A and B are shown apart, each in its own frame.
Chain A
């Protein structure tokens, strides 16, 4: 048997291997010049970006509890928004919309609507009380009965923010009632300082005739 015969035999048995080329080698071409330009540009950019947005590699801004609070320079304190309605609108989306819904229509039987209702466009003091301490139990709004629970926001929102929400609600869509000033909220907050539990509808309606 010659070598070639043996080769033929192996070929028949191992065609798969046979049509397979040798293992790949590695070429010695240099990388194209523009790759090095790209490397230089990205490294330069990376250095700039780290310096610009690196927060001086300081974690203390995120660990406020670890040391005494630092005085922030004045320009970092957000200026008060000029428009109460705009402030209130964004707060509504964040805090109220989940229950009272995107168009303020509420959910039947549970969450009352906030448009076209005396509770919102009526006495500002009633509205502020509801916003401050919340409301619990059955309430009749626009002829429908709702039984639900609304938490109070006095601990979470400032006078200005609550005035924003109240003003936004009172002027939203078809609502057209006078705005509520932060000072009004501050006054009611002081008046109701002892109140902890949410209000009930009768508590708020009884004095509605002549103001609480």
Chain B
């Protein structure tokens, strides 16, 4: 793409609406120029992407062990270990390892690879980005030790120490953001694809909410309001934005089709930013907040049906007729299921935000199940899919084993299905028992026991899946680039065209 073309910002601008392309356009074979560009771009982002994925996998394994430990202690409290292994600390360490370690670092990796790809430009200031990822990862590692040592800040999702952790995360993440912004400014495409909107918006939204949430100026009920403003937007404007952006890129990319509708992309993006940012107060229904704050939040939560429907239609219509492709592409399998889970978790969240439902489900295991549909079935599955796509490209070699991919896929899929079912059912009974004054409190605890035990089984499956995945990544990393090989699942691929034929 020559630099002489108009460079208006592309988000929703009618002037730069995408030129209509013939349907076959996307699935044609790439020209040698395009291939050369991809090679160059992938090489530029290679180091920071590898560092981010490597650190995120370490956090994933650590977080799995923490999660499993906390889960077992819920039904077998006699297994509590020494102080640093008690539930309150291990559960907190699990959350922080998974959200800030696994998900956030993997998302930084995805962003660092995807943005240069999408703007047809090498990653600028790559060393700065790599350094930023290191700062984030090391600061988080230190914070996990602090949490296990029993000195977290006392707010959910904000347990990381203000001066010893939050500052470093802000600076490290900021360095990645600046490098990507610099890359965006040097873009060689006239039109910004929808994934760019989501990812770049998330990189701007996240520092805003992260700094607001950690700003040491709030007290009392105010503090609870800011706490949930942050925690909900960490899901909505950070995890959701980047993972929806990744799905928007990977689904049509793997299928070689255009995204169904530019109009739906626009509706989905802008309404997400507008409504999601108001959602946080539905976490404090019944709390000491002005009624209008909570009502506004519930209203915005219900209006989330608009972006969710828009994105769901857009993704579904892109895949429709090609679901068989899920068989040969591990990326597509993970990403499509993740995108479906996004629709599911959003609808469940809307339902749960209603006062009538919330009074039953609040403070029960239902909430824990819901959180895992979001962070696991949606965000984590899409991140797995992204890593399956990105790692072979930055390492320039294929995944060694189709069987390991299958094991990983089925372990985590069945694991999360069991996890969510068990906690959701247990949560409903727990909530109903808590509401009934004729039922003793103890009964509301006993009724969750079976669900909590099933959850531990699920946690073992998920952890096993993560070990398989990490082992596979290790093998991919260690293997030499072979002279000639085929992608896993290649035999099942329905459309293969020979070059030059």
Q: Which of A43, A61, A62 has the most CB of B within 10 A?
A: A62
Q: Is the CB of B256 within 8 A of A31?
A: no
A46 cross-chain contacts in B, Cβ below 8 A: 299-300, 302-303
In the assembled complex, the Cα of A42 lies from the Cα of B350 at a distance in Å of 12
- The smallest C-beta distance from B263 to any residue of chain A, in angstroms, reads 5
- A residues 36-69 touching B (CB-CB < 8 Å): 38-39, 42-43, 45-46, 49-50, 53-59, 61-62
- Would A22 and B25 count as touching, CB distance under 8 A? yes
Q: Which of B29, B258, B261, B392 contacts A30 (CB 8 A)?
A: B261
The CA-CA distance from A14 to B306 in the complex, in Å, is 42
Contact A28 B262 (CB under 8 A): yes
Give every chain B residue within 8 A of A200 (Cβ-Cβ). none
Give CA–CA (A97, B35) in the complex, Å.
72
* B186 interfacial contact with A, CB 8 Å: no
The 8 A CB mask of A1-41 against B (1 = contact, 0 = none) is 00010111011101111111111111111111001001100
The prevalent SS among residues of A at the interface is: helix
Contact across chains for B261 and A31 when beta carbons are under 8 A apart: yes
A102 contacts the other chain (CB 8 A)? yes
> Which residues of chain A come closer than 8 Å to B450, judged between CB atoms?
none
**Chain B residues positioned under 8 Å from A35 (CB to CB):** 264, 267, 306, 309-310, 313
The answer to whether B309 and A58 touch across the interface, beta carbons within 8 angstroms, is no
Task: Confirm or deny: B47 has a beta carbon within 8 angstroms of a beta carbon on chain A.
Answer: no
0/1 interface trace, chain B 428-472, chain A, CB 8 Å (1 if under): 000000000100111000000000000000000000000000000
Q: Given contacts A18-B35, A55-B290, A102-B440, are A25 and B259 in contact (CB under 8 A)?
A: yes
Is the C-beta of B249 less than 8 angstroms from some C-beta in chain A? Answer: yes
Q: How far is the CA of A20 from the CA of B398 in the complex (A)?
A: 13
A90 interface residue, CB < 8 Å from B? yes
Per the CB 8 Å criterion, the residue count for chain A at the interface is 50
Complex contact A26–B39 (CB within 8 A): no
Q: A108 to chain B: closest CB distance in Å?
A: 17
Could you tell me the distance between the alpha carbons of A7 and B29 in the complex, rounded to whole angstroms?
A: 12
Contact assessment for B261 and A21 in the assembled complex, using a CB-CB cutoff below 8 Å = no
Does A145 reach chain B (CB closer than 8 Å)? no
Identify the interface centre among A17, A26, A45, A55: most chain B CB within 10 Å of its CB.
A26
Q: Does B372 contact A (CB under 8 A)?
A: no
Q: In the complex the two chains form, is A102's CB within 8 Å of B441's CB? A: yes
A179 at the interface (CB under 8 A from B): no
Question: Is A93 an interface residue when CB atoms closer than 8 A count as contact?
Answer: yes
Task: State which of B30, B32, B263, B437 has its C-beta within 8 Å of the C-beta of A20.
Answer: B30
A89 CB–B CB distance under 8 Å: yes
Given contacts A24-B252, A35-B310, contact A7 B291 (CB under 8 A): no
B272 to chain A, nearest CB (A): 14
Instruction: Report Cα–Cα, A12/B499, bound state, in Å.
Output: 11
Whether A23 and B117, one on each chain, are in contact in the complex, defined by CB atoms closer than 8 angstroms, is: yes
Decide if B291 touches A53 in the complex (CB within 8 Å): yes
Q: How many Å from the CB of A143 to the closest CB on chain B?
A: 26
Q: What is the CB-to-nearest-CB distance from A181 to chain B, in angstroms, rounded to a whole number?
A: 24
CB–CB B299/A97 < 8 A = no
User: Which residues of A sit under 8 angstroms from B29, Cβ to Cβ?
Assistant: 18, 21
In Å, the complex CA distance between A22 and B38 comes to 10
Which residues of chain B (113-133) have a CB below 8 Å from chain A? 117-118
Q: Check B193 against A54 for contact (C-beta < 8 Å).
A: no
B398 touches A16 (CB 8 A): yes
B437 and A31 form a contact (CB under 8 A): no
Q: A26-B259, A58-B292 are in contact. Are A90 and B440 (CB under 8 A)?
A: no
Interchain CB contact under 8 A, A21 and B30:
yes
Pick the contact of A21 from B26, B193, B500 — CB < 8 Å? B26
Chain B residues touching A, range: 35 or more
Say yes or no: A27-B290 contact (C-beta < 8 A), given A18-B30, A35-B313.
no
The answer on a CB contact under 8 Å between A17 and B35 is: yes
CB distance from A90 to the nearest CB of B (A): 5
- Of B252, B256, B258, B306, the contact of A38 (CB 8 Å cutoff): B306
Q: Which of B32, B263, B298, B302 contacts A7 (CB 8 A)?
A: B32
Say if the beta carbon of B211 comes within 8 Å of chain A. Answer: no
A62 to B292, CA, bound (A): 11
Complex Cα–Cα for A32 and B316 (A): 13
Q: Bound state CA distance, A11 and B484, in angstroms?
A: 10
Are A59 and B26 neighbours in the complex by a CB distance under 8 Å?
A: no
Q: Which residue of B lies closest to A3 (CB)?
A: B32
- Output the least CB separation between A121 and chain B (Å): 22
CA distance A53 to B309 in the complex (A): 26
B299 touches A49 (CB 8 A): yes
Measured CB to CB, the closest approach of chain B to A97, in angstroms, equals 7
Given contacts A17-B38, A62-B290, contact A25 B261 (CB under 8 A): no
Q: Which residues of B contact A56 (CB under 8 A)?
A: 292
A25 and B306 within 8 A (CB): no
In the bound assembly, the distance between CA atoms of A130 and B398 in angstroms comes to 78
A29-B290 contact given A24-B257, A35-B309, A53-B295, CB 8 Å threshold: no
CB distance B21 to A25 under 8 Å? yes
**Chain A residue at smallest Cβ distance from B249:** A24
Cβ contacts under 8 Å, A93 to chain B: 437, 441
Q: Mask for A81-116, Cβ within 8 A of B = 1, else 0? A: 000000001100100010000110000000000000
A16 to B390, CA, bound (A): 11
User: Does chain A have a CB within 8 A of B194?
Assistant: yes
| Distance A17 CA – B253 CA, assembled complex (angstroms) | 12
B8 within 8 A of partner (CB): no
Query: Given A4-B500, A30-B261, A53-B295, are A17 and B305 also a contact pair (CB < 8 Å)?
Result: no
The contact sample of 13 A-B pairs, CB cut-off 8 A, is A7-B499, A16-B393, A25-B21, A26-B18, A26-B259, A31-B267, A31-B313, A42-B302, A46-B302, A50-B295, A53-B298, A54-B292, A102-B441
User: Which 5 A-B pairs rank lowest in CB-CB distance, beginning with the nearest?
Assistant: A102-B440, A24-B252, A55-B291, A21-B256, A25-B258
Known: A22-B26, A55-B291. 11 other contacts (CB 8 A): A7-B32, A7-B500, A12-B484, A26-B258, A26-B261, A42-B302, A45-B302, A49-B299, A49-B302, A50-B292, A62-B289
Interface residues of A (CB under 8 A from B): 4, 6-8, 10-12, 14-32, 35, 38-39, 42-43, 45-46, 49-50, 53-59, 61-62, 89-90, 93, 97, 102-103
